Structure 1
Amino acid sequence: MKVSTVRLLADARRAKAGGEQAMASRHQARLAELVAWARTRSPYYRHLYQDLPTDLAHGAADLADLPVTRKSELMAAFDDWVTDPAVTLAQARAFADDPARIGEPFAGRYTLTTTSGTTGTHGIFLQDDRAAAVTGAMMARMLLTWLNAGDVARIVRGGERMALVAPVGGHFASTVAADRLRGQSRIASFSVQQPMDELVAQLNAFRPAVLAPYASIGALLAGEAEAGRLRIDPALVILSAEGLPLPEYARIAAALSTKVRTS
């Protein structure tokens, strides 16, 4: 069943109105529900969590009390890790190896994304419709806290155009998101793998009101703006994927005369 992002936003508003204690209680209950689901559906987590209390809902357990999971360990135990026994690593890898299927549902019901493998291990992760809706609601809440009336007006004056700067050819989260947004004239995706002068020329022509690059690319684009080659006026820059030294965020903001936030 499809989950309404609007309903999730209303639910989050009610939770915040309840205060810190109500949110802490909700956190505890949902953590307990997640752990119970993992124990029931995943042999890997059933073994990993065998020493945890049976009923976390009435304990003082928090995320910090859960054993650490590492990507290399999860991928090595993929078939026992996933909570859907119908999903196998062989199926997921075959899907991930096919760039023609980027943005398509995996197994008819999951969004499949991969990590780049820069740590030495390619991760494969699945989201169902509810997880995707929750992510959408969280992004909407972030935007509401980031933007004031002046920022919104500036975005509207800029044609509400959004530029995603992401890799192509893989099932990366940003690539999948860009593929699903394809066809919307106000949203365009630009490849991080092309020469910088070509990327700058494309962004100058598109004139985005919102720019969403990887953080390292955002820093490089700030340098292009400082050199006078990048001539865009975004109201908001949303960085993703990586962290930067703290002074870099202020430099990007100054170079592009914009707000800089990280997702």
Structure 2
Amino acid sequence: MASRAVRARRRRARQAVAYARAHSPYYRELHRALPDDIDDPARLPVTGKQALMARFSTVATAARFRRDHPRLGWLLREFSIDKPLPQLVAEPNRYKPSSLAGFSSMLGLLAREQEAGRLHIHPGMVIADGEALTAENRTRIASAFHAQVRSAYAATECGFLAYGCAHNWLHLDTDWVVLEPVDADQRPVPPGQPSHTVLLSNLANRIQPILRYDMGDNVLMRPDACPCGSPLPAVQVQGRAAELLEFPAGGDRHVRISPMAFGTLLDRVPGIAQFQVVQSAPATLRVRLTQADGADPDDVWRSVREEISRLLAEHKAEHVALERAVEPPEQSASGKFRRIIPLGR
């Protein structure tokens, strides 16, 4: 017999599907040949961003939270990463946040400011989301702030997918989320094997129904119990399928390398404050660097070039050219700092 939690999730799935059919012409047409009473999203057809874009609603922001909850709004503050670093540092210095959340790259930058004595806050918890949190960055943030560091898995389509534990796994909110790891042909991938992508069903969203939505994330489901003791399924996000760097390897062959491979590698290079690797041509990587205080730019570049060259050689991509950029790392229009940028992204 199914557990109470499973029965509740099936009920929510059934309600979400019924609501989507009743209120969305898109889903009504997409599901018209299906039975009326579906409580398992795996029986639904797959959809994606292109199909939903015309109907897509923006995610709630901190500003909206303050508008909708004026009595609670004082609890939440936004610090814009578009501001110059001294101003960005000054604002949390005034506010003294008890917890801190943001892109992992920006949290790492703030950790350096804390180490340098320009930032002096003492959050009890730091939550990294929006970007992969490397082990090196986690250690640096924890050491700088003397705080617990947790990662979160969230997206515009669902802001509460999973939350991290001390063992670097993300535990799914299975009460309201159905996540299906699949291969390139959208067949289920068993735990312990990395997926090509993952399909999301958000059972809570009635404004913009999200049912079997292809997120493009490579995930790995943990095949056994997590040592943290949580009974919830655990995943690790290994990157986005669309963000893998792909290099020509002769004929019709290509070499594909995860962005995390570059990030983990360069996190270990001393003297780097920030880096950004941009695939500017099919077989060219342009490396943007900001050196740490006191570091010699030429020494840092030599170390970076050696490490990337070694990684490329390990993947049989020695032919890829490396360029030393004169411009510093840049933020995207959305404000997210992308450390690895594949060609055409």
* Higher-helix-fraction structure: 1
> How does the TM-score come out when normalised to structure 2?
0.38
- Compute the TM-score of the two structures, normalised by the length of structure 1: 0.49
The structure with the larger Rg is 2
Between Structure 1 and Structure 2, which shows a larger proportion of strand residues? 2
